[in-house]
């Protein structure tokens, strides 16, 4: 048995679960009849307000499936570190695991301050991999979200994985909702104007939809498509990914974890 067979099996299991969620999203889209109704008209202002009507919400099964995906991917990383530790010692410490940190080295305190310092790699993170060879420690340090380029550390897939996993283990079953996959609108340019008036969105294009909430206010010259195809997105339970599409985020995490495991494959040749 190859040392990485365990982590690889868990990644493959997570990817099958993500594909199952993708099919669930497709099935949800078939029955979700999300529409806008023009409930408020202001002829004197030349504006109309549309409200969102939701006929169905994603089931709570989504939260359980998301938790299973996060657990398998987090466990795959921990399994990788355990196997690396076994190359240096036959008895790795029980707290050996893959560290994930937004801060490398800082004296930043929590709020309120009496709760201590913000977790950082130079202290707690290094302690998790103290039994690894220094070369492997350095490689894991380079993978930390605070070392990411081209993206904010808080948007890094590893940070998202850590937050989703912690939320599932210690807080609530993750709740999902819906967000518009697309919104169509158009209209005409009023006489005497050089461009078509802009709709006034009520943050509905990026936030989780709520039944009966205002969606958009438009000038009378603008029309809005009343049918809205939805994406399934994170809602309550994990602020780090709230409003983000579930399948997209989980795929990014799974790809990141898989790449990390394969990058360490040469260590076991």
- Tell me, rounded to whole angstroms, the distance of Cα 123 from its chain centroid: 27
pLDDT of residue 73: 98
Tracing tokens 């800082």 back to the chain, one arrives at 106
Yes or no: say if 257 and 11 are a contact pair by the CB < 8 Å rule: yes
Give the tens place of pLDDT for each residue, 19-46: 999 999 999 999 999 999 988 777 667 7
Closest listed residue to residue 217, CA positions, set 232, 199, 234: 199
pLDDT at 194 > cutoff 80: no
> What is the Cα–Cα distance from 193 to 24, expressed in whole angstroms?
46
Taking only Cα atoms into account, the Rg of the chain, rounded to an integer number of angstroms, comes to 23
Give the tens place of pLDDT for each residue, 64-117: 999 999 999 999 999 999 999 999 999 999 999 999 999 888 666 555 655 555
pLDDT of residue 200: 80
DSSP 162-202: HHHHHHHHHT-PPPEEEEES---EEE-PPTT-SSPPPPEE-
Largest CA distance in the chain: 81
End-to-end CA distance of the chain: 13
5-31 vs 61-86: helix axis angle to the nearest 10?
160
pLDDT of residue 206: 65
pLDDT of residue 253: 98
Q: Give Cβ neighbours of residue 201 (< 8 Å, ≥ 6 apart).
A: 215, 216
**Domain limits of the chain?**
5-89+151-268
Q: Residue 131 is encoded by which pair of tokens?
A: 């039994």
For 104, phi then psi, to 5°, come to: -85, -55
Checking DSSP bridges between strand 176-180 and strand 185-187, what pairing results, if any?
unpaired
Tracing tokens 């461009």 back to the chain, one arrives at 195
Q: Is the sign of the CA dihedral 212, 214, 218, 220 positive or negative? A: positive
């Amino acid at each position: 048995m190859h040392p990485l067979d365990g982590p690889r099996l868990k990644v493959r299991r997570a990817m099958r679960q993500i594909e199952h969620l993708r099919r669930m999203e497709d099935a949800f889209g078939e029955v979700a009849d999300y529409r806008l109704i023009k409930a408020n008209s202001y002829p004197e202002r030349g504006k109309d307000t549309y409200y969102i009507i939701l006929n169905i919400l994603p089931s709570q099964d989504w939260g359980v499936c998301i938790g299973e995906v996060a657990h398998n991917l987090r466990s795959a990383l921990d399994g990788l570190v355990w196997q690396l530790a076994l190359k240096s010692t036959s008895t790795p410490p029980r707290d050996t695991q893959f560290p994930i940190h937004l801060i490398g080295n800082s004296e930043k305190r929590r709020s309120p301050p009496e709760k201590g310092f913000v977790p950082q790699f130079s202290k707690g993170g290094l302690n998790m991999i103290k039994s690894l060879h220094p070369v492997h420690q350095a490689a894991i340090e380079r993978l930390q979200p605070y070392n990411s380029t081209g993206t904010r550390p808080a948007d890094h897939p590893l940070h998202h994985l850590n937050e989703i996993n912690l939320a599932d283990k210690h807080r609530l079953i993750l709740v999902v909702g819906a967000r518009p996959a697309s919104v169509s609108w158009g209209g005409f340019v009023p006489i005497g104007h050089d461009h078509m008036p802009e709709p006034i969105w009520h943050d509905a294009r990026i936030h989780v939809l709520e039944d009966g909430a205002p969606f958009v206010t438009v000038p009378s010259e603008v029309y809005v498509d009343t049918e809205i195809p939805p994406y399934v997105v994170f809602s309550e339970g994990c602020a780090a990914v709230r409003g983000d599409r579930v399948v997209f985020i989980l795929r990014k995490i799974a790809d990141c974890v898989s790449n990390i495991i394969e990058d360490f494959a040469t260590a076991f040749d």
